Amino acid sequence: SQKIEQNSEALNIQEGKTATLTCNYTNYSPAYLQWYRQDPGRGPVFLLLIRENEKEKRKERLKVTFDTTLKQSLFHITASQPADSATYLCALPNSGGYQKVTFGIGTKLQVIP
Amino acid sequence: DTGVSQDPRHKITKRGQNVTFRCDPISEHNRLYWYRQTLGQGPEFLTYFQNEAQLEKSRLLSDRFSAERPKGSFSTLEIQRTEQGDSAMYLCASSSTGTGETQYFGPGTRLLVL
């Protein structure tokens, strides 16, 4: 199965700066990669999906890149706000089928006012 | 659309007791998933239904765990003879052909086994 690495240490940044989170994976290259946001005590919320043939995807202040050579995705939040503080999870499908996904442990982002 | 709902939101039980959780997916979604999440970890896949058929089951799901989706709508997850190691957040998610790979999660049921 896929092994996913996300920085388990919390990321603290100043409000207004760009936050960059990293997701590295081993083994096979997935057909797509997803990013979810999770607030304490709540279920994950889908943010963005990027496919293997896409290098970059944007949605408002969010940007995701996908480098299949490096086996890495970067997740950027520009002009960060305290409301962006949450844990961000990277998720990839298993090789056996698109329906089963493996989640990383997530990176906790804290935006300081 | 009320989203995915789960009941109960919290459950405290004693070791050895049986517990059952319910998940109501988004009404038009034919796929339903169960995950388990412990503190500091990402959600771990437990099982997956397409309509009423249980198509995949993780090795994490011991014989004490069983899930059903009898009419292809709501689903239940039962844990028999609970152990302290079962303490976790149990998450349900749903999706459909229309939503593709995107899964919509419920708020979860937090289980504490004493």
Three-state DSSP state, A82: helix
Residue range B12-55, pLDDT digits in tens: 999 999 999 999 999 989 999 999 999 999 999 999 999 999 98
Q: How many CB pairs under 8 A join A and B?
A: 56
Between CA A69 and CA B4, with CA A90 as vertex, the angle to 5 degrees is 145
User: Cα A101 from chain centroid?
Assistant: 14
Amino acid identity for residue B97 in this structure: T
Using the Cβ of B44 and the Cβ atoms of chain A, whether some distance falls under 8 Å is answered with: yes
Of A8, A31, A33, A22, nearest to A75 (Cα)?
A22
Q: Which positions in chain B touch A104 (Cβ < 8 Å)? A: 42
pLDDT above 60 (res B104): yes
CB contact under 8 A, B43 and A89: yes
Q: B40: left (phi > 0), else alpha (psi -120 to 50), else beta? A: left
**pLDDT higher for B100 or A112?**
A112
Give the three-class secondary structure for A41: coil
> H/E element holding A2?
none
Q: Which of A101, A105, A107 to mutate to test the interface with B (most CBs of B within 10 A)?
A: A101
**CA-based nearest residue in chain A for residue B92:** A43
DSSP conformation letters of B15-72: TT--EEEEEE--TT--EEEEEEE-TTS--EEEEEEETTEEEEE-TTS-TTEEEE-TTS
Buried b (16+ CB within 10 A) or exposed e, B62-72: eeebbbebeee
Say yes or no for a CB contact (<8 Å) between A89 and B42: yes
Q: Quick: pLDDT tens for B56-99.
A: 888 878 899 999 999 889 999 999 999 999 999 999 999 987 66
| Residues in chain A within 8 Å Cβ distance of B50 | 99
Assess contact for B93 and B35: CB atoms under 8 A: yes
**What is the per-residue pLDDT for A1?**
65
Please answer yes or no on whether A104 and B42 come within 8 Å at the CB atom.
Answer: yes
What is the Cα–Cα distance from A79 to B62, expressed in whole angstroms? Answer: 45
Select from B73, B78, B75 the least CA-distant residue to B96: B73
Condensed to tens digits (0 to 9), the pLDDT of residues A43-100 reads: 999 999 999 899 899 999 999 999 999 999 999 999 999 999 999 999 998 766 556 7
What is the pairing mode between strands A45-51 and A97-103?
unpaired
Between CA B66 and CA B51 the distance in angstroms is 16
As given in the structure block, the two tokens for residue B5 are 């709902």
Place of tokens 């050579």: A69
Q: Cα dihedral sign for A30, A32, A37, A43?
A: negative
Contact B46, B35 (CB under 8 A): yes
